């Protein structure tokens, strides 16, 4: 794909625009940020920006079952780059919001705010680490992937799209929508087969899950893998595919979502002061280098 195509296919001014829109859709903090009024987060009566709608139109049109298979093949061999976690954060920070560089926090600062909010509430250290790492997969953009293949709500492919997914009408343009193999309630799956057997739309969640899967406890891996699966963790739209174990693990995914969405504040965390804790934490769970 040429750069020009990529610009055309990248309607968001920055990846944060998608996350800002999530706050518009889901303004109620479930568990944290007790000190802030709900309204302080976003007025959900505002309509989505056109750029966000256009972003979802592309996402829903192009995330087919075959596309997911191709991207797994392409990226899950992790043969692009090898970096320490700290080099990887520097790399990720090359994703800057050129529309508003003064007010937006860097990707690393969002990650640190998430992990610090988890830590402040006394959750296990592996959940703090999940907070720190959960958006690392956005480096896919730096490997030339279009926005709609990196961020956005995720959903199962290979079966019918739920109308609880944001902008369900845009799925009509997806070739799988008319493919009989994929467009029934269960599609290629069986009732309550468990998410371990289900292919999700491709993006930063699936990528970071595979990168971390040998290193973190299972609840942390669920948080990484399904943190953008709003149709399930907010809407329970795919209970017919989850098994009982998934249902238990989704309590963690739900808990994590509060920290992801509602920990943003304009004040950047004091990295100097926090560094020793995080150096230790990373050392405890992760190898010297990560492969991308
Ligand atoms: Fe994310
Ligand atoms: Fe996030």
Ligand 2 centroid – CA 89 distance (Å): 14
Q: What is the pLDDT of residue 234?
A: 97
Give the mean pLDDT of the chain.
91
**Average pLDDT score over residue span 279-288:** 98
Confidence label for 5 from pLDDT (cuts 50, 70 and 90): low
Ligand at shortest distance from the CA of 209: 1
Tell how far the Cα of 129 is from the centroid of ligand 2, in angstroms: 13
Given a cut of 50, whether residue 74 has pLDDT beyond it is yes
Mean pLDDT for the stretch of residues 39-64: 82
Q: What's the 132 CA to ligand 2 centre distance in angstroms?
A: 9
pLDDT of 40: 54
Give the integer Cα–Cα distance in Å for 207 and 292. Answer: 9
Ligand 1 centroid distance, CA of 180 (Å): 31
Average pLDDT of the residues in 165-182: 98
Whose atoms come closest to the Cα of 137: which ligand? 1
Find the range with the poorest average confidence among 28-32, 151-155, 171-175, 236-240: 28-32
DSSP the chain: --HHHHHHT---SSTHHHHHHHHHH----SSS-TTS-GGGT--TTSPPPHHHHHHHHHHHHH--HHHHHHHHHHHTT--S-EE-HHHHHHHHTT---TT-TTTPPPHHHHHHHHHHHHHHTT--HHHHHHHHHTTGGGGGGGGT--GGGTSS---BSSSPPPTTSSSGGGGGGSGGGG-TTTSSSSTTS-TT--GGG-PBPPSHHHHHHHHHTTTS-HHHHHHHHHTT-HHHHTT-TTTTT--HHHHHHHHHHHHHHHHHHH---SSPP-HHHHHHHHHHHHHHHS-SSEE-
Distance 213 CA to ligand 1 centre (A): 17
- For 75-90, what is the mean pLDDT? 98
Residue 250 CA to ligand 2 center (angstroms) comes to: 17
Q: Give the residue-averaged pLDDT of 198-212.
A: 98
Dist. CA 204 → ligand 1 center (Å): 7
Ligand with minimal distance to 230 CA: 1
Structure confidence at residue 2 as a pLDDT band (50, 70, 90) = very low
Residue 182 has pLDDT above 90, yes or no: yes
Q: What is the pLDDT of residues 105-129, one digit of tens each?
A: 889 999 999 999 999 999 999 999 9
Alpha carbon of 24 to ligand 1 centroid (Å): 16
């Amino acid at each position: 794909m040429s750069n020009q195509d990529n610009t055309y296919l990248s309607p968001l001014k920055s990846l944060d625009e998608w996350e800002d829109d999530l706050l518009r859709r889901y303004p109620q903090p479930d568990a944290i940020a007790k000190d802030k009024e709900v309204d302080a987060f976003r007025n959900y009566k505002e309509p989505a920006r056109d750029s966000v709608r256009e972003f979802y139109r592309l996402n829903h049109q192009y995330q087919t079952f075959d596309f997911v298979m191709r991207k797994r093949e392409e990226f899950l061999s992790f043969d692009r780059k090898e970096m320490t976690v700290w080099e990887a954060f520097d790399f990720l920070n090359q994703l800057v919001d050129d529309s508003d560089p003064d007010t937006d926090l860097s990707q690393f600062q969002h990650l640190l705010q998430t992990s610090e909010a988890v830590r402040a509430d006394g959750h296990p250290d592996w959940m703090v680490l999940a907070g720190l790492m959960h958006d690392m997969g956005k480096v896919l953009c730096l490997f030339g992937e279009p926005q709609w293949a990196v961020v956005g709500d995720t959903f199962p492919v290979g079966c019918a799209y739920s109308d609880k997914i944001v902008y369900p009408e845009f799925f009509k343009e997806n070739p799988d929508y008319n493919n009989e193999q994929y467009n029934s309630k269960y599609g290629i799956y069986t009732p309550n087969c468990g998410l371990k057997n289900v292919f999700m739309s491709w993006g930063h969640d699936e990528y970071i899950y595979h990168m971390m899967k040998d290193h973190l406890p299972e609840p942390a891996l669920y948080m990484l893998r399904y943190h953008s699966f709003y149709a399930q963790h907010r809407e329970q739209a795919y209970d017919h595919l989850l098994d009982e174990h998934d249902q238990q693990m989704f309590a963690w995914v739900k808990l994590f979502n509060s920290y992801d969405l509602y920990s943003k504040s304009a004040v950047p965390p004091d990295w100097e002061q926090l560094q020793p804790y995080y150096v230790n934490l990373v050392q405890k769970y992760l190898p010297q280098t990560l492969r991308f």
